[in-house]
């Protein structure tokens, strides 16, 4: 029967982008195989959104459950796709999917080239965030946090890290380091409310005065900052840790003694106005910030060695995307100067570290419109053929001994986690390792 005909698709990555892409494909009548590196779905919605945002995480989980419960979706977790994974991009291209939608997020690390960036006691935010949100294998590694933590970056992820250091660690001082000034902060005030009890207002006033001449040099009014500070209500309860900002500073070197971090050397910056933009320009003057832990919260990049054409932290999409917005979703082969048939990117895999869940969802939904337009002249398959394509891939995984996990198995894991949480009287419990989850499934 003609209405049984479907396109069969693979979505790689079950974070918000992959899940909302899956929903959009299913709504359009496609059959979808959703492959995910982690055993459990959700990506950073499960393993990134801050620990105590239970309501937000619960709401998202309910939406994801609906998508994953659809009979037209087959979820397979614990399958690493990529050049060193259980399945390569070429494996997926060979099997017979009508399109591949890559939604595997921004898993590469953005190194700034700062000396000492890989020392013990120096972390990249994503790894630490994965650790405290209990994503294996990061949940199994130690991430000791000292008394004085320098966080490089002033976005919402910095706020989350400061929140973790102030409320979940034995930390006394947290210093958020900004390349530019207080007017260029990137975090949202609403997010900052979570660390108001640690925010050291007096230190902030002093810091504004320290950088006043450099703000005034570009026409910024330091008095506006003091006024805004005076209008804020002081929190009644104070955290033990003190959070302060260090503006106009670019990290140059993590300084260690006997293998232990003792501080961060920064170059003092001045500001320069270029059109609408305020840029930081190094002055050559070096300052020393004592600290015992450094966290780089400067955003991520996509995984370079994944198997898709890569340039400057992103996968390559069509150069003419400026004229045709949809082309920005299709992966482009720089050698042949042609789009790669049936290969698309959405969410943080397309634009690394770009915005909140709502934005990843919009990106996925916009991308799927492009995917569907690209399929207009591709013949559909019978349901039986579509099932054969999916089975062929699962058979390959089984033959190769990949311990993949199905959605009914994820539900069993989640049920056990809920049972643990109830027993312990806590909001949430997560298995610490993949082995523990697999053992619960009797593997
Ligand atoms: C610290 C932090 C806090 C945040 N807090 C909030 C918040 O409070 N509210 C909000 O709205 N947004 C928040 N965000 C942003 C939000 O998490 C992102 O917008 C969103 O998760 C991006 O979705 P994504 O699906 O593109 O990527 P991800 O969420 O990263 O999902 C990627 C998925 O791909 C899978 N994957 C990765 N590599 C592979 C591979 N090789 N093979 C197969 N699968 C793979 C992963 O298992 C994962 O499931 C936060 C982000 C961070 C970093």
Pocket test for ligand 1, best of 53, 58, 104 (most atoms within 8 A of CB): 104
Pocket test for ligand 1, best of 24, 35, 46, 48 (most atoms within 8 A of CB): 48
Q: How does strand 405-406 pair with strand 73-77?
A: antiparallel
Mean pLDDT across 155-160: 98
Banded model confidence at residue 149, pLDDT cuts 50, 70, 90: very high
Query: What pLDDT digit, counting tens, does each position of 165-210 carry?
Result: 999 999 999 999 999 999 999 999 999 999 999 999 999 999 999 9
251's CB contacts (< 8 A; 6+ apart) are 112, 114, 152, 177, 264, 265, 266, 294, 296
pLDDT value of position 1: 47
**Cα(155)–Cα(185) distance, rounded to whole angstroms?**
7
Higher pLDDT, 232 or 66: 66
Instruction: State the distance from the centre of ligand 1 to the C-alpha of 102, rounded, in angstroms.
Output: 13
Task: Taking the CA atoms of 326, 331, 334 and 340 in sequence, report the sign of the dihedral they define.
Answer: negative
3-state SS assignment for residue 137: coil
pLDDT value of position 321: 63
Residue nearest to atom 30 of ligand 1 (CA): 105
Query: What pLDDT digit, counting tens, does each position of 296-307 carry?
Result: 999 999 999 999
Q: Which atom of ligand 1 is nearest to the CA of 81?
A: 42
Residue nearest to atom 10 of ligand 1 (CA): 356
pLDDT value of position 46: 98
Nearest Cα to Cα of residue 138 among 34, 13, 46: 46
Banded model confidence at residue 4, pLDDT cuts 50, 70, 90: confident
Instruction: State the distance from the centre of ligand 1 to the C-alpha of 136, rounded, in angstroms.
Output: 15
Judge contact between 163 and 50, C-beta under 8 A. yes
Query: What pLDDT digit, counting tens, does each position of 313-341 carry?
Result: 999 998 876 667 788 999 999 999 999 99
Pocket test for ligand 1, best of 22, 45, 133 (most atoms within 8 A of CB): 45
Banded model confidence at residue 234, pLDDT cuts 50, 70, 90: confident
Banded model confidence at residue 228, pLDDT cuts 50, 70, 90: very high
Instruction: State the distance from the centre of ligand 1 to the C-alpha of 105, rounded, in angstroms.
Output: 6
Residue 442 reports pLDDT greater than 90: yes
147 φ/ψ sector (left φ>0, alpha ψ -120 to 50, else beta):
alpha
Instruction: State the distance from the centre of ligand 1 to the C-alpha of 222, rounded, in angstroms.
Output: 37
Burial tier of 427 (Cβ tally within 10 Å: 0-12, 13-18, 19+) = exposed
Q: Is the peptide bond before 137 cis (omega within 30 degrees of 0)?
A: yes
Task: Taking the CA atoms of 65, 70, 71 and 72 in sequence, report the sign of the dihedral they define.
Answer: negative
Average predicted confidence (pLDDT) for the chain: 96
DSSP code of residue 115: B
Distances in Å between the Cα of 398 and the Cα atoms of 154, 363, 405 are 45, 33, 11
Q: Ligand 1 pocket by C-beta < 6 Å: which residues?
A: 12-18, 35-38, 43-45, 48-50, 53, 80-82, 85, 103-105, 107, 129, 157, 160, 347-349, 355-357, 360
Mean pLDDT across 253-263: 96
Query: What pLDDT digit, counting tens, does each position of 15-36 carry?
Result: 999 999 999 999 999 999 999 9
Other C-beta atoms closer than 10 Å to the C-beta of 321 total 14
Pocket test for ligand 1, best of 14, 15, 299 (most atoms within 8 A of CB): 15
Residue nearest to atom 49 of ligand 1 (CA): 43
Instruction: State the distance from the centre of ligand 1 to the C-alpha of 1, rounded, in angstroms.
Output: 39
Residue 409 reports pLDDT greater than 90: yes
**Cα(36)–Cα(419) distance, rounded to whole angstroms?**
25
**Cα(29)–Cα(73) distance, rounded to whole angstroms?**
11
């Amino acid at each position: 029967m003609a209405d049984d005909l479907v396109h069969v698709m693979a979505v790689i990555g079950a974070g918000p982008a992959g899940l909302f892409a899956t929903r959009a494909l299913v709504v359009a009548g496609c059959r979808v195989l959703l492959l995910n590196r982690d055993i459990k779905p959700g990506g950073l919605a499960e393993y990134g959104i801050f620990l105590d945002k239970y309501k937000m995480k619960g709401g998202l989980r309910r939406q994801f459950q609906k998508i994953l419960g659809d009979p037209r979706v087959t979820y397979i977790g614990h399958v690493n796709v990529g050049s060193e994974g259980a399945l390569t991009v070429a494996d997926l291209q060979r099997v017979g999917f009508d399109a591949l939608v890559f939604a595997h997020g921004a898993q590469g690390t953005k190194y700034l080239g700062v000396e000492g960036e890989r020392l013990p006691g120096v972390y990249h935010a994503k790894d630490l965030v994965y650790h405290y949100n209990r994503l294996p294998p990061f949940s199994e590694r130690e991430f000791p946090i000292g008394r004085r933590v320098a966080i490089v970056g002033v976005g919402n992820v910095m706020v989350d890290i400061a929140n973790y250091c102030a409320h979940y660690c034995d930390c006394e001082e947290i210093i958020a380091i900004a390349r530019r000034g207080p007017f260029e902060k990137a975090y949202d005030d609403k997010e900052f409310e979570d660390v108001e009890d640690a925010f050291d207002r007096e230190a902030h006033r002093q810091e504004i005065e320290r950088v006043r001449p450099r703000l005034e040099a570009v026409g910024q009014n330091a008095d506006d900052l003091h006024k805004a500070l005076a209008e804020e209500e002081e929190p009644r309860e104070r955290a033990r840790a003190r959070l302060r900002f260090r503006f106009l500073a670019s990290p140059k070197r993590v300084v260690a003694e006997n293998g232990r971090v003792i501080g961060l050397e920064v170059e003092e910056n001045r500001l320069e106005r270029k059109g609408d933009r305020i840029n930081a320009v190094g002055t050559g003057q070096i300052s020393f910030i004592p600290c015992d832990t450094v966290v780089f919260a400067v955003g991520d990049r996509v995984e370079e060695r994944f198997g898709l054409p890569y340039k400057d932290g992103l996968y390559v999409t069509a150069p003419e995307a400026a004229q045709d917005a949809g082309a920005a979703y299709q992966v482009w082969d720089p050698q042949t100067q042609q789009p790669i048939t049936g290969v698309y990117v959405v969410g943080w895999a397309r634009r690394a570290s770009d915005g909140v869940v709502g934005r990843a969802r919009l990106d996925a939904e916009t991308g799927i419109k492009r995917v569907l337009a690209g399929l207009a002249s591709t013949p559909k398959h019978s349901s039986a053929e579509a099932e054969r394509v999916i089975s062929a891939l699962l058979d390959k995984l089984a033959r190769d001994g990949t311990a993949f996990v199905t959605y009914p198995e994820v539900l069993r894991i989640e049920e056990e986690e809920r049972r643990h949480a109830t027993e312990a009287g806590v909001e949430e419990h997560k298995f610490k390792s993949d082995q523990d989850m697999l053992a619960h499934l009797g593997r």
